Copies of this chain bind each other. A is one copy, B any other.
Amino acid sequence: MTEIADSGSAGDTPVAFQDPGYRAAVVDLLGAIAYGEISAFERLAEDAKLAPTLADKLALGKMAAVQFNHVEPLIARIAELGSEPMEAMAPFVKAFDAFHARTAPSNWLEGLIKAYVGDGLAADFYIEVAAFLDAETRTTVVTSLSDVGHSEFVVDRVRQAIVADHRVAGALALWGRRLMGEALSQAQRVAAERDSLAALLAGGVDRPGLDLAALGRMFSRLTENHANRMAELGLAS
């Protein structure tokens, strides 16, 4: 993460906002994160129906409510930047909805893994991107990803299930790979359609960017973190 930490200070000055492309990119990013949290909320609430016990349902419901509680500060920041929050979110509805439609869990464990792996991947990605943002926006983004703290619950439940029947591990490992594949595929589609986000990563006159090699290293980090999360669950990646 050294590379990211070093470039992180570059966007601190309001100078960044003199570039109209920068403002547009920030609004896009916040819109994407906000709709991502709304759709994660909807999915977690839906997946809570699969819970085998009331305690499990409560735990997943809590994860859903936490996600939703993050939405308001993001929307407030979008408005502060002079954009209409609903318009800012609109371009990302299709990609997130497609991701969720293609990765609807067919059972409780799949739902848990999706919550854990999906949240983790999204958080890693947004934190990588946050390094290219001005300080205030960066704080908004990083705060919106905190206070999740459900990892232990998910890890515990998945490991218990594998102990109870080790044959589930194979199918769940495949599920983890599918989640990663679908997430990358939708992210790539969004990046191709929204020039602003690609431009954000590419840098600007006063902001350093990622060259192709650095972008490659970023994807390596994302993949590595994903593999670590799968391992934490007791699953191959």
Q: Which residues of A contact B (CB under 8 A)?
A: 35, 38, 41-42, 45-46, 48-49, 53-55, 57-58, 61-62, 64-65, 68-69, 71-72, 75, 86, 89-90, 93
Contacts and interface: CB of A to CB of B under 8 A. Distances in A.
B58 A48 contact: no
Contacts of A75: 58
A68 B64 contact: yes
Contacts of A69: 65, 69
Chain A interface main SS type: helix
A65 B41 contact: yes
B49 A71 contact: no
Contacts of A55: 86
B86 A71 contact: no
A67 to B, nearest CB: 9
Nearest to A38: B61
A231 to B, nearest CB: 31
A75 B61 CA distance: 14
Given A41-B45, A45-B41, A45-B45, A68 B62 contact: yes
A48 B45 CA distance: 11
Nearest to A34: B58
Contacts of A65: 41, 64-65, 68-69
A203 to B, nearest CB: 31
B71 A58 contact: yes
Nearest to A53: B86
Contacts of A49: 42
